[in-house]
Chains A and B, each alone.
Chain A
Amino acid sequence: MNDQMTPPPALGCRSAPVLKQRGQREVFCGLTGIIWLHRKMQDAFFLVVGSRTCAHLLQSAAGVMIFAEPRFGTAILEESDLAGLNDAHAELDREVETLLARRPDIRQLFLVGSCPSEVIKLDLSRAAERLTQLYAPKVRVLEYSGSGIETTFTQGEDACLASMVPVLPDTQERNLVVVGALPDVVEDQMLSLLADMGVGPVQVLPARTIDADVAVGPNTVFALTQPFLSDTHAALVRRGARHLAAPFPLGEEGTTAWLAAIAAEFGVTQDTFDAVTEAPRRRARQAVAQAAEALDGKSVFFFPDSQLEIPLARFLTRECGMTAIEVGSPYIHDEIHGPDLDLLPAGPQISEGQDVDLQLDRCRAARPDLTVCGLGLANPLEAEGLSTKWAIELVFTPVHFYEQAGDLASLFARPLRRKRILNGPALEAAQ
């Protein structure tokens, strides 16, 4: 499988010094994950216990309102709930009762903690226990924190999945659990690649419904499809499972390396591996090459957002010909991001956390060809003449595995192509 592989760089970024600044962080909180998690888990409801701000965040982050009644909502704390915690618990029970009566299709309920619920120390784990007893076996009630004082953007999914790990059934079986919420179509592609290699049994966390037979035990190995799942990683290790470290399945190279780590673990022969991956690899390379034409030789600057920044920088530099100036990530975990850092050629400033004003100064000074940033920064930077890609699209769009590698490159290429089109007539006129 190495004949077509680009060799790793002589010097990667794994041991590069990391710039850590503390100031204003311009990021979403973990509640945002609900927007995609509630589509993924078809029998789950996410009940945020929070404030009007939390409800407004969900509504604004969803961008367009999803008007098929969404499987999430906010129980907005009111003055009276702040006065006495017992009353707040009683109120919560009442809201849950109405909700479950109205939505008999709900089998899993997540109580999601927010900044206000945590500051007033409203114990949602106690509530989840009490409600589980009340509604078992029909409905399982779990809780996790999506608060902005505890979690950053994609960490909400991490917290959600981590909350599910302790209640997964035990197994002694040797199985592979693939962890991370992927769009159904991508997940199906991934499962069929693994099936074709003869890897199995494979289970996915989060499963589409509560009835799926995801189990974990000492013979379980697991692979992550998303780089922001450190707590889930830790929870699975606590259950005796073993992590298969690998670069993330973004781009052709990442997908191949990710599959190869699993193939090695399950003793898949080189011939089988090649037979299964050859055609999609070729397609992926071709699609990336077409889309990457606009990216070749261009520079990119990442503001920290989703923790996808390091694998994406690896993809853009190694498969699309870009140069990374700064790669910012809200958090960096060596165990999880290490394999991608190994492949990312030395050179860019790696940064963790943020002081947004200082980082904007660096970005303006560097004038990158493409800046990957949040929605709050994109238009202001465009107005200053920089091209931007909103990071949030990367978690809302199918980008993983072979068949999406070209789409992934296109997402980054589109702002540059657009600028070229719009500038075209003006430039010609100028000449």
Chain B
Amino acid sequence: MKLTVWTYEGPPHVGAMRVATGMKGLHYVLHAPQGDTYADLLFTMIERRDHRPPVTYTTFQARDLGSDTAGLFKRACQDAYDRFKPEAIIVGASCTAELIQDDPGGLAETMGLPIPVIPLELPSYQRKENFGADETFFQIVRHLAKPAEKTARVSCNIIGPTALGFRHRDDVQEITNLLYELGIEVNVTAPMGATPGDIARMGQAHFNVLLYPETGEQAARHCEKTFGQPYTKVVPIGAGATWDFIEEIRMLSGSTAQIDSDRLRQSWWSRSVDSTYLTGKRVFIFGDGTHVKTAARIARDEMGFEVAGMGCYNREYARDVRTLAKEYGVEALITDDYLAVERAIETLQPEMILGTQMERHIGKRLGIPCAVISAPVHVQDFPARYSPQMGFEGANVIFDTWIHPLVMGLEEHLLHMFREDFEFNDAAGPSHHGGHAAPQAAPAPDAAAAAAPQDDNVIWLSEAEKELKKIPFFVRGKARRNTEFYATERGLHEISLDTLYEAKAHFAR
């Protein structure tokens, strides 16, 4: 038993729903109690879908338990077939139905439906949403995809995008265009937008582009083994990764087509002098494994940030993220407990968080700016405008998204110079956010900081404390930490005004 307040991932059957809802002509019959129908709203409200997810829930009740839940399942299955006439059905159990052991797969098989029926085994008490999506898509491919002659022109499948995915809609468009520029046709994009019929002809492609390992890796491996389709290992998030991805595609396809990279503005934007202030900003990165790995590279190599810490919530990627963290000289935090993430952020006092909606809330509380880089998704992660993360346009979008929460270069200097100006001070926050951003944000670092001295047995003398308060909020945490570190290292128990400035000089870069 584990006490949880907020979760990064839903149960595995929600992952299966993301696959089913992304596809067309597929129906999911889910043995589940009525309350589990809440999951529909994830798609209709968060993603603003204009159709109900193609899911029929059996909605068994307590009084059915003693009698015939199996019969109920078969009726629901038959009704769903009659009403929706899908090309294929996937069947499975939610956490509760798993306990009553009706075996939806076996039951559905005996019904003799004239379409493929694909049983899902998703262990609800061990695994989570991403696994559910990955496994479901794998089973669909395993059951439906047939060996086929390769297309005459070089083609590939795009694998991994699902309903309710973080920017999947726009990533697919961006990468489809990029592949087109390279002279490669997209045979099937799946699960998003694919019908069971499309899945059947996936074997025609020459190779696979795996956009989201979290939700497509098993299927990609299966296709490699069964159809001899190699798959891409680079996830094209960030400018560097996009170039690597292009290189990988050239290797796989033999394409020599030139790429017009004029629209990649991110590289110059980052080099322009206006961006100097980004140098060495300490960032903490948290999210799903794939987005964290790509974000780390962008942060260090393309933005000039210092990666102060990183971690992921999906254990499947623990090994990858640990290896990467070692390379960056930081400790990896692998956890799905947001309180542990909050503690890590509080201790590290980064100047910025690159995280999920959870970290955005943590940042709000601690007064640390945050940009969102990964699922779990929120209605804000489905903007009306085109807003990919992948490819060149993705790199541009990421640049804008990441600097948006920050106080900008010249403004930062002005804040330092006029820090006691009653109007133009840190409580006013980044000027492009309106007047209300900082008042909640500013007190938090103080509150967090006030507790710190006792821990380390270093006392701030009142003059030094006063001076510290004059430092703008977005560097105050760092100044406090550095000074305390400096004092502790030298065995000082008091921090005076001099200590503060000695530390400042020591850490100057």
Contacts and interface: CB of A to CB of B under 8 A. Distances in A.
Asked if A and B bind, the verdict is yes
A120 B1 CA distance: 14
Contacts of A170: none
A375 interface: yes
Contacts of B49: 379-380
Interface string B265-280: 0000000000000000
Contacts of A380: 44, 49-52
A67 B4 contact: no
A89 to B, nearest CB: 10
A134 interface: no
Contacts of A375: 40-41, 44-45
A383 B49 CA distance: 9
A241 interface: no
A65 interface: yes
Contacts of A88: 1
A371 B503 CA distance: 65
A25 B3 CA distance: 29
B35 A67 contact: no
B1 A378 contact: no
A149 B61 contact: yes
Interface string A11-50: 0000000000001111111111000000000000001010
A119 B44 contact: no
A184 to B, nearest CB: 23
Nearest to A120: B99
Contact of A95 (B1, B40, B58): B1
B39 to A, nearest CB: 8
A377 B44 contact: yes
A150 interface: yes
A99 interface: yes
A373 B259 CA distance: 50
Contacts of B95: 51-53, 115-116
Contacts of B39: 56, 60
Contacts of A24: 37, 56-59, 76
Contacts of A74: 3-5
Contacts of B456: none
Nearest to A88: B1
A163 interface: no
B44 A378 contact: yes
A61 interface: yes
Interface string B29-49: 000011111111110110011
A70 B361 CA distance: 13
A382 interface: yes
Given A55-B7, A56-B10, A357 B79 contact: yes
B462 interface: no
Interface in A55-81: 55-57, 59-61, 63, 65, 67, 69-70, 72-79, 81
B5 A25 contact: no
> Which of B6, B10, B49: most chain A Cβ within 10 A?
B6
Contacts, number: 180
Interface string B115-139: 0000000011110100000000000
A56 B61 contact: no
Interface in B1-33: 1-7, 9-11, 13-14, 33
B83 interface: yes
A25 B2 CA distance: 30
Which of B38, B59, B125 has the most chain A CB atoms inside 10 A of its CB?
B38
B162 interface: no
A70 B6 CA distance: 10
A164 to B, nearest CB: 22
B146 to A, nearest CB: 33
Nearest to A376: B40
A116 B96 contact: yes
A99 B3 contact: yes
Contacts of A357: 79, 83
A264 interface: no
Counting chain A CB atoms within 10 Å of each CB, which of B5, B57, B58 scores highest? B5
A47 B365 CA distance: 24
Given A27-B35, A55-B4, A376-B41, A119 B96 contact: yes
B152 interface: no
A147 B35 CA distance: 8
Which 6 A-B pairs have CB atoms at the shortest separation, nearest pair first? A29-B35, A148-B35, A376-B40, A383-B50, A148-B33, A375-B41
Given A56-B7, A94-B1, A148-B96, 18 more contacts: A29-B33, A32-B38, A52-B95, A52-B128, A53-B36, A55-B7, A60-B42, A67-B364, A73-B5, A74-B3, A75-B2, A75-B4, A76-B1, A76-B2, A115-B95, A115-B96, A375-B45, A376-B37
30 contacts: A27-B34, A29-B33, A47-B3, A51-B96, A52-B128, A53-B36, A56-B7, A56-B39, A59-B7, A63-B45, A65-B6, A65-B357, A76-B3, A76-B4, A79-B123, A79-B125, A81-B1, A98-B3, A115-B33, A115-B96, A116-B99, A120-B99, A148-B36, A357-B79, A375-B44, A377-B44, A378-B45, A379-B44, A379-B50, A380-B49
